[in-house]
């Protein structure tokens, strides 16, 4: 089928919507691959002994649940510290390739960088069972590091494409829809993994999620392109519309990143700070909640999968509602972009902070704990149309680099949180987990306060190549005058 035939067939379909949907699926699958281990590890590793612990600091075990929760495939004696290292090892690699991924995508094209990253991560995911059987925890850590290296390019590369495909009037809505793939990917991982673990051995979990990435890549290669100008069958009407909407702040070939201006930018540091606080809460819960449900509250594996996924359904819905509200507030000029972003991050900090403290003091009330966790993670969704989209606000020309730096800094929390949880909860007691929840509260509130002071939703001056050029000329002139 020729490109002209495809153009006629696909003319009624808005290609920016196709791109948004495929990008959304990319993040769903990416998070599915990384999060599936969080629940699978409860079946891979043997339960931790809770000897010499006061019964007041432990929840009673339901005997019927305990019988359902016995695993026949849990053969590895990995303590909490080892499990924390395994879960965090993904982010050792993930942090490293954030900035290189952005630079590669800006130079060679974001489409293939994104596709390659997801595809190879999927292949490595399929190889996890062999790695564990061959080399135990050490081999699993190595595979997880390699997965992180490959997946680290995803967010920066997708952000570059979002800047080229999303008009300002649709930015909050489209950006939130795409990035809402993170909570839905976690839902996907925990729900499907729980079902698979109930009816099959744990290796099937990784075969399933790795296979999904290969199927996605085949559609991605044929349907998506780096920019509207390169798309062979986009309608003329949509191409003209996108050019008119994006031409002011987005250049096809912007000059290299003005790092001196970048580093001196307080809005940039504010974005980094609030992203760190948000992701600390998200990563701690996403990686630790299945363990808390299993080891502290004693849910069986199938219920664990369902209940661990429930908060992320709320997070997804909240992100969509807040994104529509954000676009409406900005479009009707009720609030500025800056005020709208700060409102979103504040809801995503104060609400989750209070509810995580509520969860810390529900003790063994399983219903109350599930409600608190659900509300906590749900309100984290308010941050998606704020902090995730803020990279596009600040610098459309360098959206990939801005995302790489902010997301890379925040990804360090993915390294630290499993380690911190492993160190603070060696015996999985209520008081040990309470310390974990207080840390989440402090970081959410502190980093959001910094963002309220220094954050911005306006395009920064150094996004404009002419501004950077004038600044360089002025500096050269001053140097010449001083000489």
Q: Which residue has the higher pLDDT, 127 or 461?
A: 127
What pTM value is reported for the model?
0.77
Contact indicator for 190, 305 with CB cutoff of 8 Å = yes
- What's the pLDDT tens digit per position in 31-48? 999 888 887 887 887 666
Strand partners, 45: 76
- What's the pLDDT tens digit per position in 409-423? 988 888 888 888 888
Alpha helix ranges (H) inside 166-300: 171-179, 181-199, 203-223, 236-246, 259-263, 266-291
- Going by C-alpha positions, the residue among 349, 336, 329 that lies closest to residue 457 is 336
Q: What percent of the chain has pLDDT over 90?
A: 35
Q: Which residue has the higher pLDDT, 466 or 105?
A: 105
Alpha helix ranges (H) inside 332-460: 337-360, 366-380, 389-394, 399-424, 430-454
Q: Which residues have a Cβ under 8 Å from the Cβ of 262 and sit 6 or more positions away?
A: 268, 398, 401, 405, 462
Q: Which residue has the higher pLDDT, 216 or 388?
A: 216
- b/e 381-412 (16+ beta carbons within 10 angstroms → b): bbbbbbbbbbbbbbbbbbbbbbbbbbbbbbbb
What mean pLDDT do residues 299-307 have? 67
How does residue 227 score in pLDDT terms, banded at 50, 70 and 90? confident
Q: How far is CA 215 from CA 25, 122, 182, in A?
A: 11, 10, 19
Whether 8 has a pLDDT exceeding 60, the answer reads no
Ranked by mean pLDDT, the top range of 38-47, 179-188, 244-253, 302-311 is 179-188
pLDDT for residue 283: 87
Compute the distance between CA of residue 457 and CA of residue 385 in angstroms, rounded to an integer: 12
Whether 450 has a pLDDT exceeding 70, the answer reads yes
**For the chain, which domains are there?**
14-47+78-227+259-473 (1.20.1250.20)
How does residue 68 score in pLDDT terms, banded at 50, 70 and 90? very low
Three-state SS at 76: strand
Compute the distance between CA of residue 371 and CA of residue 307 in angstroms, rounded to an integer: 10
């Amino acid at each position: 089928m020729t490109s002209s035939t495809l153009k006629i067939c696909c003319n009624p379909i808005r290609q920016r919507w196709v791109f948004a949907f495929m990008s959304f699926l990319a993040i769903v699958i990416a998070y599915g691959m990384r999060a599936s281990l969080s629940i699978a590890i409860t079946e891979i590793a043997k339960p931790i002994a809770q000897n010499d612990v006061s019964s007041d600091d432990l929840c009673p075990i339901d005997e019927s649940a305990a019988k359902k929760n016995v695993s026949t495939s849990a053969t590895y004696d990995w303590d909490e510290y080892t499990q924390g290292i395994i879960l965090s090892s993904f982010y050792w690699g993930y942090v490293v390739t954030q900035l290189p991924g952005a630079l590669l995508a800006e130079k060679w094209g974001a489409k293939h960088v994104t596709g390659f990253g997801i595809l190879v991560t999927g292949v490595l995911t399929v190889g996890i069972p062999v790695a564990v059987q061959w080399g135990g925890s050490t081999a699993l850590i190595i595979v997880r590091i390699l997965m992180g290296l490959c997946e680290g390019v995803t967010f920066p590369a997708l952000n570059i494409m979002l800047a080229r495909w999303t008009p300002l009037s649709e930015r909050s809505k489209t950006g939130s829809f795409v990035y809402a793939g993170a909570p839905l990917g976690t839902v996907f991982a925990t729900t499907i993994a729980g079902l698979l673990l109930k009816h099959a051995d744990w290796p099937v979990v990784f075969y399933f999620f790795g296979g999904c990435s290969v199927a996605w890549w085949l559609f991605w290669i044929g349907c998506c392109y780096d920019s509207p100008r390169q798309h062979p069958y986009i309608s003329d009407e949509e191409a003209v519309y996108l050019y008119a909407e994006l031409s002011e702040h987005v250049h096809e070939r912007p000059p290299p990143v003005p790092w001196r201006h970048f580093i001196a930018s307080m809005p940039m540091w504010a974005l980094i700070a609030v992203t760190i606080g948000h992701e600390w809460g998200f990563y701690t819960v996403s990686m630790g909640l299945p363990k808390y449900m299993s080891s502290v509250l004693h849910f069986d594996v199938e219920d664990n999968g369902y209940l661990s996924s429930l908060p992320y359904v709320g997070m997804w819905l909240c992100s969509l509602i807040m994104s529509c509200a954000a676009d409406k507030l900005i479009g009707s000029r009720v609030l500025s972009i800056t005020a709208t972003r700060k409102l979103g991050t504040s809801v995503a900090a104060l609400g989750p902070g209070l509810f995580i403290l509520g969860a810390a003091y529900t003790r063994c009330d399983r219903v109350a704990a599930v409600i608190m966790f659900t509300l906590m993670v749900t309100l984290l969704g308010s941050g998606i149309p704020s902090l995730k989209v803020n990279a596009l606000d600040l610098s459309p020309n360098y959206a990939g680099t801005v995302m790489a730096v902010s997301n890379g800094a925040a990804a360090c929390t993915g390294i630290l949180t499993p380690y911190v949880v492993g160190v603070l909860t060696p015996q999985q007691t209520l008081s040990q987990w309470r310390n974990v929840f207080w840390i989440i509260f402090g970081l959410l509130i502190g980093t959001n306060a910094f963002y309220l002071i220094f954050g911005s939703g306006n395009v920064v001056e150094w996004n404009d190549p002419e501004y950077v050029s004038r600044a360089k000329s002025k500096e050269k002139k001053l140097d010449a005058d001083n000489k």
